[in-house]
Amino acid sequence: MSATVVARGRAVSMGGLRKALRFAHRWLALLLTPVFLAVILSGAVLSLKPVVAEWSATPAESVRVDVPALVVLVEGLERLGPMDSLSLVADGTAVDVRGRAAGLTGRWDLASAARRGEASLWPDVFRTAERLHKALLVGLAGVVEAATYVMLAVVLVGPLLAWLRFRNTLLGWHTAVGWLLFPLIALSPATAILMTLHVGQGGGPGQAPRPSRADAPASMSAALALAAGKLDLTGFRGARRVRGGVVMVQLARPGPSVHMVSGRGVSALTRPPNLVKQLHEGTWGGAWSGLLNLLASGALLLLTVTGLWSWLARAIRRRRRGALAGNILVAYASQTGTAARLATATRDGLVAGGESVALAPLGSLTPAQLRGFPLILLVASTTGDGEVPDGARRVPQCLAEDNLSGTRIAVLALGERHYAHFCRGGVILRDALVAAGAREALPLARVDGDPKAGWSHWIDGLRDTLRLRWAGQPRIEAGVPVRLRLLERQRLDDPTAGETRETWSLAFAADRDVAFRPGDLLRLTPPEGGRARAYSIGSSSRLEPRVIRLTVGLHSWRDAMGSTQLGEVSGFLVRSLAVGGQLVADLQRHPAFNPPEDEAQPLLMIATGTGIAPFPGFVAERAASGRAGPAWLIFGNRHRAGDHLWAEAFGAALRDGSLTRCDTVFSRDSEGAGYVQHRLREAADEVVHWLQNKQARVYICGAGAMARAVEETLTEILAQATVLPINVAAVEIARWRASGRLRVDAFD
């Protein structure tokens, strides 16, 4: 077994362990959050006990108690009911008494046995907090003990799940507090567990006997009488009943100051100092050690609350964004697939680094779904004359009245500087998001031409500025390089029939097996370098392995000197490249414009000029399946006699049934002149039937202006047929775009 395989196996194993730990960390903490909150809040109150003891007025060492008066007062008060505790006030002239009987609890004067007022509140607060801290007020000590073990495990595992990185987010502060205060936070549950295991409690001769109900004196006055026979009670400071009814008496005197009074007699509590208990209660250093424990309780409370809140926020975001899962959204607005590939690579790198990321086309998301993400990373291209890609064209209008104030964005805009409106599509989307309340986490990044370097620099910003976790080097899933040999070249237009645009069908043979479908792209670079050109593929490797068919229109114009100039790529393909000649190209998947996998899915295909390129492949795949569903083609060009591209292929498809209907329109003919949108209006009833009853999928391919006109026409037809306002119909068409029911591959 190679070292690489072993390393990969270890990585997978560690990844699985990390995932299991994260699951346990999250769900055990959520399950026990009510118990955690009760224990932490009561612990915070108890941490004030040494603070109150040091800062409040307490009886001085020199204060002596009138013992006979104390005994008389206690005996008299016990006529009202049993007494739980009494404590001497600062000047030694009164005691605070507590009991369950009406009228018993209060501050009583020793000399007159009269009530002075209310007893100090603190002992009751601390006693209630202690009962809540140890047993949730209802005798659930076992639940508290189990929760303490879980709390310690959660605290110990936390730093293993996220490295310390300062991010000004809720989870960022959660992680920072967990790391920076880790020793203090872990101390509380760790010492609690040691106490339950009786670690550090000492023992041996002189330890008070374990009390039982049989040992309990009859009353507080009886306990004081027993103690008076053994001890000097002039240094009395307080007494209270403890477990088993035994009375604990506290004195201010040299030597043992706490004694246990039971039927067996009076015994000094002489256990050695319990450091574990002192650390847990914060009594080892007086008031400031209590404040340190209060800080620990505050940190634990913050971790619990932020953990709960982040989970609730994730749940709310999940509900808003539907099936999308993740804390970060990587969205894209793509025309030819480049932005989609960059977004996919961004998602992959972040996921590999440990981030929770969702990936989706921007146009497919509702404003509510966008609100569900605290951070959106957008990769956007520009199409046409500085326009937003077709799939995201309605996003600015949809966002106009929505509030994204809780969302941060980072936008990578793709473009080419030689165009007049460089990266304008990305700028439009960025401005729309900001206008809706989003805040830029990074300045807009513009990429000119080849996106690799610009995208890599943008990724550096995500890592260094936003502190996002990334694994590996930034890599884009490039097209598949393939060497091609020109098999044949046939002219599709007829120049003898009038003014036509020179258009050719080219067939190439690949030197190896490659997978492609109609609508995928073949990207070609001029022999002397320069800007690459992408052509839609009109064949399928499922039918013709290794044979790639293109429809290429020769781009030509006259320069200032009157000379005819040819496009670099199209001129090379139709003028320079000889049959049998070879070239190297990139084959790029374009799944957004592939035909449906289900050949029975009804199709409405609309194209003009060389936009017809992918549709011969669409029809060929359906014909070969033997189960072709209804398919309708609407094609437009300039002259029927000279520009009816692929007329024979589509005629054959009509005869064999793989094409159900074919409508054509030619703008420069004297009869029946018009455009494809006119044919749509003329057949409006049938179009609506295909869209609503047959649930046809619509594909539009060709010039950007045509694609926009067709979409507007479909909106008008839908509004008229359904008696909907035009804006409502436009929203429905936008939904079709977002869901993939309407697909556009447009160029200018």
Residue 28 lies in a domain: yes
Q: CB–CB of 530/571 below 8 Å?
A: no
3-state secondary structure of 32: coil
Q: Minimal CA–CA distance to 403: which of 447, 429, 379, 439? A: 439
Is residue 658 located within the same domain as residue 730? yes
Is residue 261 located within the same domain as residue 215? yes
Q: Say if strands 408-415 and 375-380 run parallel, antiparallel, or are unpaired.
A: parallel
Is residue 311 located within the same domain as residue 436? no
Q: CB–CB of 440/548 below 8 Å?
A: no
Q: CB–CB of 633/659 below 8 Å?
A: yes
DSSP state of 246: P
Cβ-based burial of 437 (10 A; exposed 0-12, middle 13-18, buried ≥19): middle
- Residue 457 CA, chain-centre distance (Å), reads 23
Is residue 605 located within the same domain as residue 710? yes
Residue whose structure tokens are 């015994």: 267
Residue 6 lies in a domain: no
Domain end marker among 564, 591, 618: 591
pLDDT at 18: 67
pLDDT at 477: 59
Is residue 639 located within the same domain as residue 539? no
**CATH classification of the domain holding 378:** 3.40.50.360
What are all long-range contacts of 653-659, with beta carbons under 8 Å and residues at least 24 apart? 653/619, 653/623, 656/623, 657/628, 658/619, 658/620, 658/622, 658/623, 658/628, 658/631, 659/619, 659/631, 659/632, 659/633
Residue 599 lies in a domain: yes
Is residue 90 located within the same domain as residue 198? no
Residues facing 241 on adjacent strands: 247
Domain encompassing residue 263: 67-110+208-270
Q: List the beta strands (DSSP E) in 203-273.
A: 236-241, 247-251, 258-262, 265-268
Q: Which residues contact 732 (CB under 8 A, 6 or more apart)?
A: 718, 724
pLDDT at 12: 41
3-state secondary structure of 654: helix
Is residue 582 located within the same domain as residue 599? no
Is residue 600 located within the same domain as residue 683? yes
Q: Which residues contact 319 (CB under 8 A, 6 or more apart)?
A: 372
Q: Minimal CA–CA distance to 21: which of 221, 133, 160, 174? A: 160
Residue 2 lies in a domain: no
Residue 225 lies in a domain: yes
d(CA 544, CA 509): 10
Q: Which residues contact 171 (CB under 8 A, 6 or more apart)?
A: 162, 306, 310, 327
Is residue 599 located within the same domain as residue 586? no
pLDDT along the chain (748 residues), means of 10: 43 58 80 86 83 69 86 90 88 88 90 87 77 83 87 83 66 76 84 80 47 61 87 89 83 78 80 75 76 84 81 63 70 83 89 86 82 90 80 78 81 86 90 90 89 89 89 70 95 89 96 94 84 91 95 90 89 95 91 89 96 96 89 94 94 93 91 89 94 93 89 93 85 79 82
Q: Quote the number of domains for the chain.
A: 5
Is residue 669 located within the same domain as residue 655? yes
pLDDT at 217: 62
d(CA 706, CA 702): 7
Handedness of CA 426, 427, 428, 434 (dihedral sign): positive
pLDDT at 730: 85
Q: Render 124-159 in DSSP notation, one character per residue.
A: HHHHHHHHHHHHTTTT-HHHHHHHHHHHHHHHHHHH
Q: Say if strands 106-109 and 115-117 run parallel, antiparallel, or are unpaired.
A: antiparallel
Residue 670 lies in a domain: yes
Residue 567 lies in a domain: yes
Kind plus residue range of the DSSP H or E element containing 604: strand 603-608
Is residue 566 located within the same domain as residue 662? no
Residue 1 lies in a domain: no
Is residue 129 located within the same domain as residue 174? yes
When computed from its CA atoms, the radius of gyration of the chain, rounded to whole angstroms, is: 41
For helices 287-321 and 182-196, the axis angle rounded to 10 degrees is 110
Joined together, the tokens standing for residue 23 give 């699951």
pLDDT at 492: 96
Task: Please indicate, yes or no, whether the overall pTM of this predicted structure exceeds 0.95.
Answer: no
Domain end marker among 574, 591, 608: 591
**CATH classification of the domain holding 551:** 2.40.30.10
Residues facing 701 on adjacent strands: 607, 745
